[in-house]
Structures are given as structure tokens and as C-alpha cells.
């Protein structure tokens, strides 16, 4: 699966500062809205928060995959950030989160975004891949690492 179809270098950011789950989601919303025409940052943030209220998207091992459906979204869109310091995220395993991959889907999406979620979850189950993401020195290295690994799944 080619993650490059949903993720761009401009939506791949390394070593960011976020003191809370809300702040991390706000960063993701702003990052996506700045890069994708027609996406409103405030509305996206509200939808990400609403999705978190249904249950944490922290899947364990320091990973969260916040996701939601969005108006004015015509294809699956991704954004990846790593944090300088892990944050409390109410993850399933109780571990703090430092890798977040947001995924947006059109409101009428069928199952394309589910295929991306499955490929991403498969890649993120690899210990060495997670460590490579955490050790990326800059945005470009982070983008290269994620695109190479997810293509294998």
C-alpha cells in the first residue's frame, strides 16, 4: 500500500512539543488544514475531539491513530507527527504516546481508509519501525521512514 497517496512531506513533522492530548490533536488539525484546501482547522479539531470521546485512539506502544470523517474531504488524508516528549493519551495499554498518525476520510467513504488503517497498524506493530520513527532526526527522514515501511504492508 502506498502511503504517499495520503501522506505528504508537509504533513509529516518530527519532534514537536505538545503538553497534552488536546494540544497534539490541535497541531494535527492545523497541520492538515494548512496543507489541504477546504479543510477547516477548528471543525477538524472538534471532530477529532468528538472521536476521542467515543474511545481513545491510543492503540498502545506509544502510538495513537486519531481518525474521523470530515466534510469537504474528497479522499483519505493522513498526517504524521512525533513528539519530543510522550504525553498522556489514555491509550489502551496506559503508555504515554509520542507517535500520532491522523487519518481523515470523506463522510461517504467506503473502506479505502480502513485499508490504510490496517496497513499502518501492521507496520506500527514492528518494534524496529517504531524505534526508527522515534529516532528520525528531521521531517524528511521521518517521511522517508514511514513511506518505505508502510509500502511493505
The model's confidence at residue 1, banded by pLDDT at 50, 70 and 90, is low
In the chain, count H helices and then E strands: 5, 6
Catalytic residue among 67, 74, 113, 153: 67
Contact 81, 31 (CB under 8 A): yes
The domain that contains 59 carries what CATH number?
3.40.930.10
Q: Which tens digits make up the pLDDT trace of 2-45?
A: 788 899 999 999 999 999 999 999 999 999 999 999 999 999 99
**Residue from 34, 104, 32 nearest 70 by CA:** 104
Q: Which tens digits make up the pLDDT trace of 111-146?
A: 777 788 888 888 888 999 999 999 999 999 999 999
Per the annotation, the verdict on 67 as an active-site residue is yes
Q: Which tens digits make up the pLDDT trace of 42-67?
A: 999 999 999 999 999 999 999 999 99
Q: What's the CA gap between 111 and 36, in Å, rounded?
A: 21
Q: State the residue range of the domain holding 134.
A: 3-150
The model's pTM is 0.93
Number of domains the chain is built from: 1
Contact 113, 67 (CB under 8 A): yes
Amino acid at each position: 500500500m502506498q502511503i504517499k497517496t495520503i501522506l505528504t512531506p508537509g504533513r509529516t513533522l518530527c519532534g514537536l512539543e505538545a503538553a497534552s492530548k488536546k494540544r497534539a490533536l490541535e497541531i494535527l488539525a492545523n497541520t492538515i488544514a494548512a496543507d489541504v484546501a477546504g479543510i477547516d482547522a477548528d471543525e477538524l479539531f472538534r471532530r477529532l475531539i468528538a472521536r476521542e470521546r467515543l474511545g481513545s485512539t491510543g492503540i498502545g506502544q506509544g502510538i495513537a491513530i486519531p481518525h474521523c470523517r470530515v466534510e469537504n474531504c474528497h479522499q483519505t488524508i493522513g498526517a504524521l507527527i512525533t513528539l519530543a516528549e510522550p504525553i498522556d493519551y489514555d491509550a489502551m495499554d496506559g503508555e504515554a504516546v509520542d507517535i500520532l498518525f491522523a487519518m481523515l476520510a470523506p463522510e461517504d467513504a467506503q473502506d479505502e481508509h480502513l485499508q490504510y488503517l490496517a496497513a499502518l497498524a501492521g507496520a506500527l506493530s514492528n518494534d524496529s519501525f517504531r524505534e526508527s520513527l522515534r529516532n528520525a532526526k528531521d521531517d524528511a527522514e521521518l517521511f522517508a521512514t514511514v513511506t518505505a515501511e508502510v509500502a511493505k504492508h
